[in-house]
């Protein structure tokens, strides 16, 4: 096998500044995703997402999709 190692090991070598920058990019990307993409990316059902958001399931299905920016 080659020198493959888990990403978590690589992440341990990052400086705190780099980790903070990565976290900001992740937060920005998640914010830009529409709700449907978020629950699919996190492998959450609408019910599970509703529980996390502390709303009922029908509320998650009525949230409009993200408006596309030009």
What whole-number distance in Å separates Cα of residue 25 and Cα of residue 19?
A: 10
Q: What residues contact 58, with CB distance under 8 A and at least 6 apart? A: none
- Specify if 67 maps to a domain: no
Helix and strand element counts for the chain (H, E): 5, 0
Q: What total number of domains does the chain contain?
A: 1
- 10 Å CB burial of residue 60 (0-12, 13-18, 19+) is buried
- Specify if 2 maps to a domain: no
- Specify if 70 maps to a domain: no
Range of the domain at 57: 7-61
Whether pTM > 0.75 for this model: the answer is no
pLDDT (0 to 100) of residue 62: 65
- Specify if 68 maps to a domain: no
Per-residue pLDDT of 34-61, as tens digits, reads 666 767 777 777 788 788 878 887 777 6
Residue 18: both structure tokens together? 């780099």
């Amino acid at each position: 096998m080659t020198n493959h190692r888990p990403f978590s090991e690589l992440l341990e070598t990052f400086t705190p500044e780099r980790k903070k920058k990565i976290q900001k990019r992740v937060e920005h990307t998640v914010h830009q995703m529409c709700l449907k993409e978020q629950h699919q990316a996190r492998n959450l059902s609408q019910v599970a997402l509703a529980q996390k958001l502390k709303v009922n399931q029908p509320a998650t299905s009525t949230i409009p999709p993200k408006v596309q920016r030009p």
